[in-house]
Structures are given as C-alpha cells and as structure tokens.
Structure 1
Amino acid sequence: MNAKPVHAAQTLFPVADDCLQVGGMPLTRLAQRVGSTPFYAYDRRLLSERVAHVRAHLPPAVELHFSMKANPMPALVQHMVQLVDGIDVASGGELKVALDTGIDPGRISFAGPGKSDAELARAVAAGAVVHAESERELRALARIGNALGLSPLLVLRINPDFELKGSGMRMGGGAKQFGIDAEDAPRLLALCAALGLTVLGFHIYSGSQSLKAEAIIEAQAQTLVLAQRLADDTRDPVRILNIGGGFGIPYFPGEAALDLAPIGEALDAALARVKGSLPDTQVSIELGRYLVGEAGVYVARVIDRKISRGQVFLVTDGGLHHHLAASGNFGQVIRKNYPVAIGNRMSAAHEREMASVVGPLCTPLDLLAERMELPVAEIGDLVVVFQSGAYGRSASPQGFLSHPDAPEVLV
C-alpha cells in the first residue's frame, strides 16, 4: 500500500516496494549507481511526455523552444534538442552548450540584458539569432558584422507596456533591465536601418511562473497586438516573433496545475486575427521551467537525526548550496515547503512525525523542509525534493562553505 502523495508532483514518479522510482529505477539503486549523495536526477520519460503534452495543446503553427537557463545540464539539453524546435540561451556558456548539441545555429536564440562584445561576436560568427536588448548592443552588432563580413541575425527584445498578471517573476511592464521599451522601439528600428542591420522580428516576454490560464491568454493577446503595432514601424517583414512563455508549475499546497487547453484555443484564435498583418511571421513560445521542472528530483541522505527541545531535525548532506530555491532563498517572500518525501519509505505503513529537514551548512537558512509531516526517518534514509528539474543546481551557490558539488544524472 502506498502513502497518500504529499503533492501532485509525487504522482509523476512510480512507487514500488516502498521505494520511489526515477527513470524506472528504484531510488536506492540509483543512489548506489551515482555513488554519492546528494545528487539531481532527471527522468527523460517525463521530459518527453511534457513536450508532447505542450505540443498537443499548442496551435500546430507555433514553434516550441526550450529556455536553457532553466536547466543547462548538457545531457538534458541534448535530449531536449531532439524534441523542440529551438533553444534559447542567455550567456556565452549556454551558447557553447547549445552549439555542442549539433543543432542548426539558426535555431539558437541568444537573449540577456548584458551581453558582452565577445559574446555577441561568438553568436554572430556561429550564426545564432541575437535578441538585442539595447542601443549599445545594436551598435556593437553593426561593428561586429562589418568586421566579420557577416550580417547578424537580429531580433529586438521588447519590454512591453503590460505585464503578465499574477506571474511569479515579472519580466516586462514598467521600468525593467530587460529589452527595449516598447515606446522606444520606433527610434531603434530607424537606427537599425541607418546601421544597415536587418531586423528579423521581435521577442516580447512579459512574465514567468503563472498558474492562471486567463492571465496568460490576456498577455498573449496583448503581445500579438503589440507585434502588429511594431510591424508598422519596421522596413523589414516580421519573420520571427517569440511571445515568451510564462507557464508555471505548482510548488506549494493549494496550487493547481496549469490547464493548457484554453490557452491553446485562445492563442489559435488570436493568431487568426493577426494573420493578415503578420503573414510571414513564425511565432514561437519559449518555455523552460514548465518543460523540465517537474521531471527532476534532488536527493540527499540523512546523516544525523537530532531532537532539539522537542523538534525533530533530519540533518542531510545536501542543502541550500545545491538547491537554493527549495530553501526559500531564491525569491520567496514568505518561505514555503517544496514537496518533500523520504524516498525509501513511501508506503503508508510507516509511522509519521513532524520534522524539519536541514543541511550541513553553518546557517539557519539551510532548510529544505520546515516542520513537515514525514515518515519517521533514520540515518541513511534518502530525502527527495520534488519539482527540482528547473533552477536547481545551476541556480545555487555551490561554492558556499566548500562542500562537494552535487552531480546530475539523466535516467
């Protein structure tokens, strides 16, 4: 008999003989194969199923891109390249990982508010599409193109005059470091013409981590209207339109999974409305967290069990240095627990208790679960943090206190 899942994310991973299965392998055996804890494990079956789920709901004409910043593990990126239409990168390092997959460089887009001239030169030389975010970048691209004898593949990233309502992270609307303010776009489009730069289209990204279908529908409709307006100010046909993503995943109690069906239906209708003014435009959606977040787990081993004034502490060999987001220190205003389980004690037969899961660091911030109901765990048991496929290892301060790095495996 299996225990009631602590969170819907737990239902994505099977349980057999009291043990969580990841990639079809019992967690205890996987830990033996990795050779040490803590580690991250990503399930390729879940990755493939999530891409198929998105494609089943998107209009067929819309391309699907993977935003590598969510998880730049090379093996995972190689797997995703086979499933999606493009890869979005945000640094020279990510550009190298993308190019190493063998993908057509024209399917790589490079965004980010602080691209160096060296990064811009590498992108132009490789044939990647640069999403320019400032006048400085446009002038640099013109110089680089002239020096290399190449025409940069260029898209303007636009800071829209609206935001994705209810998003966990607002990337547009108001004063932002991202992109070119929508009202300044006509001036910079004219500058591009004067510099001899061809603008292929626009990247309009208003927010991320939304669980509200109606908010995403509204933002996508506003994005397409803005793209129509911008098209009137450019001398070049709009060939590319990246409308961002914003699809969220549920992390905390009370949050429900995002329903893609109404989003896909509304987007199909909105595209039909703008087809006349954007006849040659390839529309793409850029998703990171939504594609990979639920396919990963973080696994740490209990190395001590302590009771302090009646409170149980499970001390593990992992912590915020590997998984900053789960500790609550990656943007949470009020700390909430990620879904956590004892991976080798998954049946309902185990006695349960209230316990806090902490790491080995000398800071009270090193907290993976606070006063959470869990099976009674002992030294050697495996703590599992779900929803760990995005913004985990690469978004954490692994050098803090010089503990060993956490390896990653794709299974």
Structure 2
Amino acid sequence: MPAEPMAATLAETLVARQFKVAGADLHAGGLPIRELAARHGTPLFIYDGGVMRASYRALAQALGGFAHIHYSVKANPAPAVIALFASEGADVEIASIGEYRAARAAGVGPERVLFAGPAKRVSELEAVIAEGIGEIHVESYEEIARVAAIGDRLGTPVRVSIRVNPVAAAQGGAMRMGGKPAPFGFDEEDLENVVAAVKAQRSLDLRGVHLFAGTQILDADVLLSQWRHAIDVAGRVAVMADTPLKTIDLGGGLGIPYFQGDGTLDLAKIAQAVPDLLQLLRSHPLLAEARPVVEPGRFLAGPGGIYVMAVNASKLSRGTRFLVTDGGMHHHLAASGNLGQVIKRDYPIVAPARMDVSDKSAATVVGPLCTPLDTLARKTDLPALVADDLIAVLQSGAYGKSASPSGFLSQPGAGEILVENGSVTVIAAA
C-alpha cells in the first residue's frame, strides 16, 4: 500500500495561508525576505501589512457589528503598526503613557483611547486627562480617588469603567488573568462597594465595565462564555448604579497557533453567536445602548510578523546540530519560551531563502547570548544551513522586540520594518 502522506507542519500551514513562496524565497509584503534582510540587515522584524489587515478584517466580519475593535498597543507599539489598524477602523487600548504617546503619534485621536492597567501613575493620569482620553478603566480604590481628584482640579468630567476580576467560572486561556487573587481590577464579589465609591465622586462618569479573563484563547466556546459573563456582570453593575451603561469591554485574549497541534480560533462559531449576544444585550433595559468592545493584540499583529536571523555558525556537539545566529531571546523572548511557557516548545520556523529544499533534519537554534536560555528552537527541522543563511520565526508580530530584554549583554538591537505591496516603512534600523 502507498505510504500515507505526511501531515503539514504548522510552519507549512502558516506559510501557505499567509504568505507567498516563489522558488526558494519566502515573500513578505510583496518582497523576498532574502532581499529585505540584505537591504536592512539582521536580526530583523518584518511586519507584513497585508497579513495584519487580513486578520483585522476577518475578526471585524465575524463580530458583525456586535463589538468594536480596539487594538491592544502592548502587543506591538510600533506607530506604523498602530496607524495601520487605525486606518482599518480600530481604536486602541493602552497601558502606559508611553503607549498613549505612541498612539497619538500614529494619528489616533484621544477620544479613541482606552487606558487600562493596575498601576497608573498620577503623572500619567494627569497627562491623559488634561490632553484627552476616551475612558480610564479604574482598578483600585486609590485609583478611583486619584482620577476623581484630578478631574475636580481640572474641572473635567472623567469617563471611567470598572475593571472586574471575574469569578473562577469565567476563566480560560493559556494565562488566566482572574478568578484568583490578582492585581488586575476589583473582585467581582465586591462590585456593590466599588460602584458606590465611583458614584460618590462628582467628577467621575461611570461608563461601563471591563473584564479580561485570560489570554491566548483558541477555543471559541471559552471566549463566548466569557463574553456572556461580561454582559451579565454589566447588567448587574448597571442595576447597582441605577444608570444605563455605555461600554462593555470584553477584553482581549484571542489566540493564534504557535505550536504544532494548536488549533485556530473558530471565527465562524463567533459569527454564529452574534445574534444571540445582541439579543442578550437588548433584553436588558440598561444595556440596550451599550457598545461592547474587544481589545485583541496578538490576534491582529502576531500572524503578520516574521523575525529573521542570520546563521553565524553551524556546529555539531555530541550528536546535536546547533545553528548559532545573530538573533535570540534578547529580541524575541517569547519564542525562547521565557515569556510564560511552562513546557518549552518551538515556534514555527523556516529557512526563508531555502524554501525549495525538502531534505531537512533536526536542529537546535540558539542566539549569541552566554546563557542556555537563549534557545529559539530545541528540535526543529531545517535544511543544511551554513554561515550567512537565514532563519525566520513566524507568528512574531506580537510580543517580540518590545517584550524582550534588549539590553542584555549589550548586543545590537533588532531592526523593524513594515512591508506592504512592495513598499517598506523603516520603524527601527538594525
């Protein structure tokens, strides 16, 4: 009997779904990665604008008018990336004054910005309230008092939502953000006291609630369950406050496949649930005019990013093939497994200038740092590569350069470029 065809690897699936291959070359934004690396140097983060737009449009279509999208700037704060999503219609969610400045530099108006985070400094609050902010999501009693005092001093009503640490039943995802003691938001069981504290401040305009139950969620049923719980919480808060709510921030947490065996979030299932979600809202008299919000980051930016490294040396040590590169965990901590992975697994990796080579063998890909933690692949199949050949880590558009210890060992920084339709925008030089 003929042998069963081998199942495609995650890397092969992602390349086929998101990018173009011509001969030996993987392309991004209409240009060969080999050419981009030669022109802009390595290590290099390449962001394919077309792939990012496709991610946004697919989600917006699935949501079908149920929820508005706010891009979570923490995933990738490059102004060119923020501007891309803003041009598609996204507003933004920020967690610092630095992200506020990045969003404003990208042309995002202050009324389109939501500010969340457990430890906003007084100086940050003063700046955004003075310059303008869509909403501030309060997360402690101290923060309620600080925001109110600034609003009183400036004579400015401040729109706020209450961030809620939901009960355990609402949790899900690779990293659970609530349902346990947490610095994020107020415990759901304390909401009556929180609502009273906000309503007691004349300068605070209570707009809604914000729940963020988990990250890297690949199961649509888990996500939909969290969204229904958020609507339920919003209804209870509206009754406690005796006022209609304007905003229900459903959080982010939409995941993307990073590892072999990971599924893909089923947007069709989300689309099928939209009519019921809209009915759930409209059935509550104090939520009928509320605007749900989702704030994805990695789902929008992650698939379009490629981290490209050049091989410095290929060496054999006690039966293991090592490919030593000019990139590593100091640029891409998440790919090394040191940003939340319990079990170290490999991101999808390809040789972007050797895509036509079928003869591959296991290799360990490491960077230049003097630590065994600087490992970007423990056992990934790659062609026989030599010095100056290229290695590319897919799914690298989110939590890459800005989420990594770039100062460690004083290694050179990674470049960043946005490529779309053959046009290159340089974000940072290598």
Length-normalised TM-score, structure 1:
0.96
Find the counterpart in structure 2 of residue 365 from structure 1. 373
The aligned amino acid for 1:25 is L
* The 10-residue stretch of structure 1 (207-216 or 320-329) with the greater mean CA deviation from structure 2: 207-216
1:312 paired to 2:312? no
Task: Pick the aligned partner of 2:385 from 367, 370, 377.
Answer: 377
The 3-state SS of whatever aligns with 2:392 is: strand
1:207 paired to 2:217? no
| Aligned mates of 2:169, 2:329 — CA distance in 1 | 30
| Aligned mates of 2:169, 2:215 — CA distance in 1 | 10
Find the counterpart in structure 2 of residue 398 from structure 1. 406
Write the deviation string for residues 109-154 of structure 1: whole angstroms up to 9, x where unpaired: 0000000001111121122111111110110011101111211121
Task: Pick the aligned partner of 1:323 from 328, 332, 335.
Answer: 332
The aligned amino acid for 2:84 is H
* The 10-residue stretch of structure 1 (185-194 or 367-376) with the greater mean CA deviation from structure 2: 185-194
* The 10-residue stretch of structure 1 (295-304 or 220-229) with the greater mean CA deviation from structure 2: 220-229
Q: Measured at CA, do residues 163 and 400 of structure 1 come closer, stay the same or move farther in structure 2, by a change above 3 Å?
A: farther
| Aligned mates of 1:185, 1:339 — CA distance in 2 | 43
| Aligned mates of 2:400, 2:338 — CA distance in 1 | 12
1:182 paired to 2:164? no
1:16 paired to 2:22? yes
CA apart distance, 1:165: 4.5
CA apart distance, 1:163: 5.3
The 3-state SS of whatever aligns with 1:210 is: coil
CA contact (8 A) 2:351 2:391 kept: yes
* Structure 2 gap ranges (5+): 1-6, 420-430
CA apart distance, 1:102: 2.5
Find the counterpart in structure 2 of residue 334 from structure 1. 343
Task: Pick the aligned partner of 2:160 from 151, 154, 157.
Answer: 154
| Aligned mates of 2:168, 2:64 — CA distance in 1 | 24
| Aligned mates of 2:333, 2:141 — CA distance in 1 | 34
CA contact (8 A) 1:90 1:111 kept: yes
CA apart distance, 1:4: 6.0
CA contact (8 A) 1:123 1:130 kept: no
| Aligned mates of 1:73, 1:163 — CA distance in 2 | 36
CA contact (8 A) 1:221 1:267 kept: no
CA apart distance, 1:236: 3.3
1:41-190 aligned at under 5 Å gives the runs 41-128=46-133, 129-162=135-168, 165-190=171-196
Find the counterpart in structure 2 of residue 263 from structure 1. 270
| Aligned mates of 2:74, 2:113 — CA distance in 1 | 13
* Structure 1 gap ranges (5+): none
The aligned amino acid for 1:219 is Q
1:212-361 aligned at under 5 Å gives the runs 212-277=219-284, 278-349=287-358, 351-361=359-369
CA apart distance, 1:81: 1.0
| Aligned mates of 1:6, 1:259 — CA distance in 2 | 17
Q: Measured at CA, do residues 180 and 68 of structure 1 come closer, stay the same or move farther in structure 2, by a change above 3 Å?
A: same
Which consecutive aligned stretches of 4+ in structure 1 deviate over 3 angstroms post-superposition? 3-6, 162-166
CA contact (8 A) 2:47 2:306 kept: yes
CA apart distance, 1:396: 0.3
The 3-state SS of whatever aligns with 2:46 is: strand
Find the counterpart in structure 2 of residue 28 from structure 1. 34
The 3-state SS of whatever aligns with 2:402 is: helix
CA contact (8 A) 2:171 2:178 kept: no
| Aligned mates of 2:10, 2:253 — CA distance in 1 | 25
Q: Measured at CA, do residues 135 and 166 of structure 1 come closer, stay the same or move farther in structure 2, by a change above 3 Å?
A: closer
The 3-state SS of whatever aligns with 1:258 is: coil
CA apart distance, 1:5: 5.5
The aligned amino acid for 2:241 is T
Q: Measured at CA, do residues 392 and 133 of structure 1 come closer, stay the same or move farther in structure 2, by a change above 3 Å?
A: same
| Aligned mates of 2:167, 2:370 — CA distance in 1 | 44
Question: What is the alpha-carbon root mean square deviation over aligned residues?
Answer: 1.5
CA apart distance, 1:49: 0.8
| Aligned mates of 2:170, 2:20 — CA distance in 1 | 35
Q: Measured at CA, do residues 269 and 51 of structure 1 come closer, stay the same or move farther in structure 2, by a change above 3 Å?
A: same
CA contact (8 A) 1:163 1:207 kept: no
The aligned amino acid for 1:341 is V
| Aligned mates of 2:8, 2:140 — CA distance in 1 | 51
| Aligned mates of 2:250, 2:274 — CA distance in 1 | 11
The aligned amino acid for 2:26 is L
| Aligned mates of 1:274, 1:60 — CA distance in 2 | 13
The aligned amino acid for 2:149 is R
CA apart distance, 1:366: 0.6
Number of corresponding residues: 407
**Sequence identity percentage:** 41
CA apart distance, 1:265: 2.1
Q: Measured at CA, do residues 13 and 168 of structure 1 come closer, stay the same or move farther in structure 2, by a change above 3 Å?
A: same
Q: Measured at CA, do residues 164 and 301 of structure 1 come closer, stay the same or move farther in structure 2, by a change above 3 Å?
A: farther
CA apart distance, 1:32: 1.9
Write the deviation string for residues 33-73 of structure 1: whole angstroms up to 9, x where unpaired: 21x21010100000111111111111314211111111101
The aligned amino acid for 2:316 is I
CA apart distance, 1:336: 0.3
